[in-house]
Chains A and B, each alone.
Chain A
Amino acid sequence: MAGVELTQVHKAYGTTAVVKGISLTIASGEFISLLGPSGCGKTTTLRMIAGLETLDAGTISIGGDVVDGPSGHLPPEKRALGMVFQSYAVWPHKSVAENVAYPLLLQGRPRAEVARRVAEALDWVRLGSFAQRMPSQLSGGQLQRVAIARALVGSPRVLLLDEPLSNLDAALREELRGEIAALRARLGTTMIFVTHDQHEALALADRVAVMHQGVIEQIDTPERIYQSPSTPFVAGFVGGANRLEGRVEGRQFRCGAHTFVLPPGVAAVEGPSTLAVRAEELELGGEGPSLPLLARLFLGSATEYRFTLGDTVLRVVGPAREARPGESLTVSLRHARLYPR
């Protein structure tokens, strides 16, 4: 087990900068999640930690030792890490037991120890009875469990997981997410979990790092990320807030021809601002602009109303009520966040 530290890490493919100066300190035993939309550089960051990509600038150290930096690059096989890939990467020509034994064999462990630790690792992921199966006889969820056992069996200093659940269907994803949480509680390994799914990140991690276009926008506990997003992007990505561009004038927010009344408790600074408001923080009725209804979607526990606002769509979630597309309804703020520009 070890901590990881990234300092001003840069990476470009050709002329496109993919990671633009990331700094991140992960404590030993911490479970951190890298969250962001597809293409924002999460995989690249993780692969640099793994040693599968080299850096253009910056340093990475693991357990206090510099593994990448101006002084050189330590190849992945010398970093003592474990990694779980989105595509499972279970070797199809080796049985489950042979897959899991491989890292131990490369460490030169004696036979008896290998057998014992393989059995133990397979028990962690509840695959004890599948040791002799070939990968072609396993389902996606089982393959990913094999990959997790293989990544953990050699007691890695850090476990890296790159969207390990996104190839699985919804029910399995839920189940395996719980198992990862349980394993983590049991083994206490430092984990870096890459995902584009905010639910996974918020549910699992001690801290979440939200990435956007190659930079980290915010690092915080899941609660704080959700409750006080520090940028409009984080507010929009985590919790799916509506984002409106406009001006604060007194206790009003003017957005094109429409004016919202800011509820008390919303800190406002006069001038141009971005307003981020979650669908459930808006309500129908009250004091606010009257907007034409675009569509009404029944969600089960609530109903979503979509309005046209300038050239964007405003989403409001609230109790079910009668309304027809085209009808104008009043929309008001119950809560919101303002980001001066």
Chain B
Amino acid sequence: MSTRSTTVPLSPVGRGSGRGLTLTLSLALAFFFGLPLALLLFQARTAPRWTEVWFAPESLQALAGTLISSIGAALFAFTVAVPLALLIARTDLPLKNGLRAIFTLPAALPPFILGMGWVSLANPRAGLLNLLLGAGTFNIYGRLGIAFVLGTAGLPLVLLPTLAALSRIDSSLEEAARLSGASPVRALLSISLPLALPAALSGTALCFLFAASAFGVPYLLGVTASPPSPTLTTRIYGEILMGQGGLPRAVVLSLELLLLAALVLLGSRALAKRGEVRLSSGKGLSLRPMPLGRARLPLAATGVTLALVLVILPLLAVALTSVQPVWGQLTGLSAKHWSGVLSNPRTIDATLRSLGLAAAAAALVTTLGLGIASTKRRSLELLSGAPYAIPGTVLALALVIAFSRDVRFVLFDRVAFVLALGNTLWMLLVAYTVKHLAFGARNAADGLAQVDATLAEAARLSGASPRRAFFDATLPQLRAPLLAAFLVTFLTCVTELTLSVLLIPTGRDVLGTLLFELQSYADPGSAAVIACAFVLLVIALQLAQTLVTRRRQP
């Protein structure tokens, strides 16, 4: 063996390779998110007296609308999701996998489509249910209708984290309660439920935020209700449409919505921290479903009925609407909407535009998310999640203010060519990407946490540079989470509505705005065709993803 002299160049000790990446990503985030938000706050300074706007009767009515529909949605989601999660995760309920799949389906659908389904079912005059049972039996319009539809759409936000927490509870905890004299129900309620409650409550808070930020459903079910039931988001939209005069009021109302979101988020954080107990990591966990005995079949029947009514029925109603020649009349079936929509150049344009934008945004989100996660800076990761927590209406308004012609001119004299974003599709791409950055960062971070680091180390020892080792050994292990990030961003953006209605260049459409316009003003049948096509696309993609991941597993 010969001793080698130390003429091999040594790298400096310490991190430093990630610095450039961290800096670039932080600057981009600051420019496209921090700056618009700062400008929104800056605008508020010159706006009319805040309290005057906040306490004007129309504003109070909108606030009440937001509060009632969001609290209602959160309560509804909690009430349905928590018992369901207990049954699915802890008992021998039949059909539990099917129920889980159906109840999580709304997570992949725009809530607007569920809203359309309920309009078709429970419009007081023309809804299918009312045609069958007599006019006025059901009325989906108004605050409670909004709460119900958003509660169904937001149900997965409570169900999924509760299921995750429950599946980390060792069955011996419940069995110890049984031996102590507790009945099965008592064991579930006094042991399993309290352990999963922090997860359920923070999911419920997310559901509240989701409902308070929603725009499409409150617009669909609130604006034309009698009496009209505005919410903060639909009020802000209305003010922005009024142009210059309304903009300051829109800004002040946005701050109100932002404040509400921040309060709920902070409150739920504090609550979750207090009740938190460390659950098993899942290693050596033993799960034995609790036998339900005679209650098994009735409970399964209840679950299936709920799934049918809450999820399947409105989707079927949309499908039926798409083949009804005249809306609101049961006069046979016809394919005229389908052929009309599919051959309409406007639909084709909007579809192509949406597919392109969504694919581009999904690619950007996935790449940037991977970049953010690979810096391993927790603060950057948290920051990249902030745009998702902010109501879309507020984010869109901030972007309008920051990148519309006037403001840009004053602030960025020299770099005007970069910033000609206002009234272009680029603005939508920026908005979609910023809003959904969290999807990319979270999936990539989770994926990186699972990565077997020794594989990259083995590559390094085989002679690969850090970069080469990342591409050859680490990246292949991230395929599944990155694919998931791409798909969820793509599906969310392809029918995105809240940002799109405010940022779309005049005279052009994307699928979301087209759906919105057709449903709200002209042609529910054609809107139903687009919605149906989208639901089919979602189901097909989910099946494909399941098949791909299943085949990969040994």
Chain A residues near B (Cβ < 8 Å): 50-52, 75-83, 85, 87, 89-93, 102-103, 106-107, 136, 147, 150-151, 154, 160
Q: Which residues of chain A come closer than 8 Å to B275, judged between CB atoms?
A: 93
Q: Which of A51, A83, A150 has the most CB of B within 10 A?
A: A83
The chain B residue sitting closest to A79, CB to CB, is B179
Q: Which residues of chain A come closer than 8 Å to B491, judged between CB atoms?
A: none
- Would A91 and B176 count as touching, CB distance under 8 A? yes
The chain B residue sitting closest to A83, CB to CB, is B179
- Would A89 and B170 count as touching, CB distance under 8 A? yes
Q: Is B182 an interface residue (CB 8 A)?
A: yes
Q: Which residues of chain A come closer than 8 Å to B305, judged between CB atoms?
A: none
- Would A103 and B278 count as touching, CB distance under 8 A? no
Question: Which one, B180, B279, B284, contacts A103 given CB within 8 A?
Answer: B180
- Would A76 and B195 count as touching, CB distance under 8 A? no
Taken together as a complex, chains A and B put the C-alpha atoms of A106 and B189 apart, in Å, by 13
Query: Closest CB-CB distance, A160 to chain B, in whole Å?
Result: 8
Q: Which residues of chain B come closer than 8 Å to A78, judged between CB atoms?
A: 181
Taken together as a complex, chains A and B put the C-alpha atoms of A51 and B183 apart, in Å, by 12
Query: How many of chain B's residues touch chain A, expressed as a range?
Result: 20 to 34
Taken together as a complex, chains A and B put the C-alpha atoms of A154 and B183 apart, in Å, by 16
Question: Which one, B178, B186, B286, contacts A76 given CB within 8 A?
Answer: B178
Q: Which residues of chain A come closer than 8 Å to B180, judged between CB atoms?
A: 77, 102-103, 106, 150, 154
Q: Which residues of chain A come closer than 8 Å to B179, judged between CB atoms?
A: 50, 52, 76-77, 79, 81-83, 151, 160
Name 4 extra pairs, CB < 8 A, besides A76-B178, A79-B179. A77-B181, A89-B173, A91-B177, A154-B180
- Would A85 and B175 count as touching, CB distance under 8 A? yes
- Would A102 and B177 count as touching, CB distance under 8 A? yes
Question: Which one, B170, B182, B186, contacts A87 given CB within 8 A?
Answer: B170
**Sampled A-B contacts (29; CB under 8 Å):** A50-B179, A52-B179, A75-B183, A76-B175, A76-B178, A77-B178, A77-B179, A77-B181, A81-B179, A83-B175, A83-B179, A85-B175, A85-B176, A87-B172, A87-B284, A90-B176, A91-B173, A92-B195, A92-B277, A92-B278, A93-B277, A102-B177, A102-B190, A103-B181, A106-B181, A106-B182, A136-B277, A136-B278, A150-B180
Taken together as a complex, chains A and B put the C-alpha atoms of A80 and B178 apart, in Å, by 10
The chain A residue sitting closest to B174, CB to CB, is A89
The answer to whether A75 and B195 touch (CB under 8 A), given A92-B278, A93-B277, is no
- Would A93 and B195 count as touching, CB distance under 8 A? yes
Q: Is B191 an interface residue (CB 8 A)?
A: yes
Query: Closest CB-CB distance, A239 to chain B, in whole Å?
Result: 30
- Would B175 and A52 count as touching, CB distance under 8 A? yes
The chain B residue sitting closest to A160, CB to CB, is B179
Q: Is B194 an interface residue (CB 8 A)?
A: yes
- Would A107 and B172 count as touching, CB distance under 8 A? no
Chain B residues near A (Cβ < 8 Å): 170, 172-173, 175-184, 186, 190-191, 194-195, 275, 277-279, 284, 286, 288
Taken together as a complex, chains A and B put the C-alpha atoms of A75 and B294 apart, in Å, by 13
Taken together as a complex, chains A and B put the C-alpha atoms of A321 and B239 apart, in Å, by 98
Q: Which residues of chain B come closer than 8 Å to A136, judged between CB atoms?
A: 277-278
- Would B175 and A89 count as touching, CB distance under 8 A? yes
The answer to whether A107 and B277 touch (CB under 8 A), given A85-B175, A85-B176, A89-B175, is no
Question: Which one, B176, B178, B190, contacts A150 given CB within 8 A?
Answer: B176
Q: Which residues of chain B come closer than 8 Å to A92, judged between CB atoms?
A: 195, 277-279
Taken together as a complex, chains A and B put the C-alpha atoms of A107 and B179 apart, in Å, by 12
Question: Which one, B176, B195, B288, contacts A89 given CB within 8 A?
Answer: B176
- Would A89 and B181 count as touching, CB distance under 8 A? no
Q: Which residues of chain B come closer than 8 Å to A83, judged between CB atoms?
A: 175-176, 179
Which 7 A/B pairs are nearest by Cβ-Cβ distance? A106-B181, A103-B180, A89-B172, A89-B176, A92-B277, A76-B178, A83-B179
Taken together as a complex, chains A and B put the C-alpha atoms of A160 and B279 apart, in Å, by 25
Q: Which of A75, A76, A154 has the most CB of B within 10 A?
A: A76
The answer to whether A77 and B183 touch (CB under 8 A), given A89-B170, A92-B277, A136-B278, is yes
Taken together as a complex, chains A and B put the C-alpha atoms of A150 and B288 apart, in Å, by 22
Q: Which residues of chain A come closer than 8 Å to B172, judged between CB atoms?
A: 85, 87, 89
Taken together as a complex, chains A and B put the C-alpha atoms of A51 and B180 apart, in Å, by 12
Q: Which of A51, A77, A79, A106 has the most CB of B within 10 A?
A: A77
Query: Closest CB-CB distance, A144 to chain B, in whole Å?
Result: 12
Query: Closest CB-CB distance, B494 to chain A, in whole Å?
Result: 42
Taken together as a complex, chains A and B put the C-alpha atoms of A52 and B288 apart, in Å, by 10
The chain A residue sitting closest to B191, CB to CB, is A91
Query: Closest CB-CB distance, B167 to chain A, in whole Å?
Result: 16
The chain A residue sitting closest to B193, CB to CB, is A93
Taken together as a complex, chains A and B put the C-alpha atoms of A280 and B288 apart, in Å, by 44
Q: Which of A51, A92, A102 has the most CB of B within 10 A?
A: A92
The answer to whether A93 and B194 touch (CB under 8 A), given A85-B172, A87-B170, A150-B176, is yes
Q: Which residues of chain B come closer than 8 Å to A80, judged between CB atoms?
A: 181
Query: Closest CB-CB distance, A331 to chain B, in whole Å?
Result: 42
Taken together as a complex, chains A and B put the C-alpha atoms of A228 and B96 apart, in Å, by 53
Taken together as a complex, chains A and B put the C-alpha atoms of A151 and B175 apart, in Å, by 12
Taken together as a complex, chains A and B put the C-alpha atoms of A91 and B177 apart, in Å, by 9
Taken together as a complex, chains A and B put the C-alpha atoms of A151 and B177 apart, in Å, by 10
Q: Which of B194, B277, B278 has the most CB of A within 10 A?
A: B277
Query: Closest CB-CB distance, A302 to chain B, in whole Å?
Result: 36
Q: Which residues of chain B come closer than 8 Å to A51, judged between CB atoms?
A: 178
Query: Closest CB-CB distance, B176 to chain A, in whole Å?
Result: 4
Taken together as a complex, chains A and B put the C-alpha atoms of A147 and B182 apart, in Å, by 16
Taken together as a complex, chains A and B put the C-alpha atoms of A161 and B278 apart, in Å, by 25
